[in-house]
């Protein structure tokens, strides 16, 4: 197999709302999964996103099934430093934007083109600039 055939044709990234809606089997998110699979794209989220999504009322079986369908990327030292750089460049700071910044740093480190499904497009656009396509869900 040639190296080009092993490389994904891009990356679909889910923020916490995207993952929560996947757990609820939202049709819009399901369509995105189907498109990503058809395009041989990776579907990912940041491990930091799990902190926002996991709560006592979530359907754990549905969550685990959805997590088995995607890649959970770790927040490494490199990603954390890049997230801090993105925050600084966007003139943002603090815990309010930290998880979004980690998600964006993870997304931007992934094979492109990168598409992020989010309920918070304004902040993610500030963090990613024009380096990713941001889709409001």
76: pLDDT strictly greater than 70: yes
Number of domains in the chain: 1
What would the pLDDT profile of 82-124 be if each residue is shown by its tens digit? Answer: 999 999 999 998 888 999 999 999 999 999 999 999 998 999 9
pLDDT of residue 3 exceeding 60: no
- Kind of pairing between the strands at 11-14 and 114-118: parallel
Average pLDDT over residues 35-58: 95
Q: What pLDDT is recorded for position 110?
A: 97
Domain that holds residue 48: 3-136
Let me know how long the chain is.
137
* pLDDT score for 9: 85
Give me the mean pLDDT over the 64-68 stretch: 96
Residue 21: CB partners within 8 Å, gap ≥ 6?
Answer: 28, 29, 137
pLDDT at res. 7 = 55
Task: Tell me the CATH number at 36.
Answer: 3.40.50.1010
The answer on pLDDT for 136 being more than 60 is: yes
Burial grade of 52 (CB within 10 A; 0-12, 13-18, 19 or more): middle
């Amino acid at each position: 197999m040639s190296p080009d055939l092993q490389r994904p044709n891009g990356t679909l990234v889910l923020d916490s709302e995207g993952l929560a809606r996947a757990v609820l089997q939202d049709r819009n998110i399901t369509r995105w999964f189907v498109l990503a699979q058809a395009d041989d794209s990776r579907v990912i989220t940041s491990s930091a996103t799990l902190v926002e999504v996991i709560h006592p009322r979530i359907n754990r079986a549905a969550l685990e099934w959805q997590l088995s369908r995607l890649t959970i990327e770790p927040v490494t030292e490199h990603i954390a430093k890049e997230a801090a750089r993105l925050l600084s460049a966007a003139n943002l700071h603090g815990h309010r934007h930290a998880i979004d910044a980690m998600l964006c740093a993870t997304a931007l480190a992934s094979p492109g083109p990168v598409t992020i499904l989010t309920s918070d497009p304004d902040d993610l656009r500030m963090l990613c600039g024009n380096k990713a396509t941001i889709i409001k869900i």
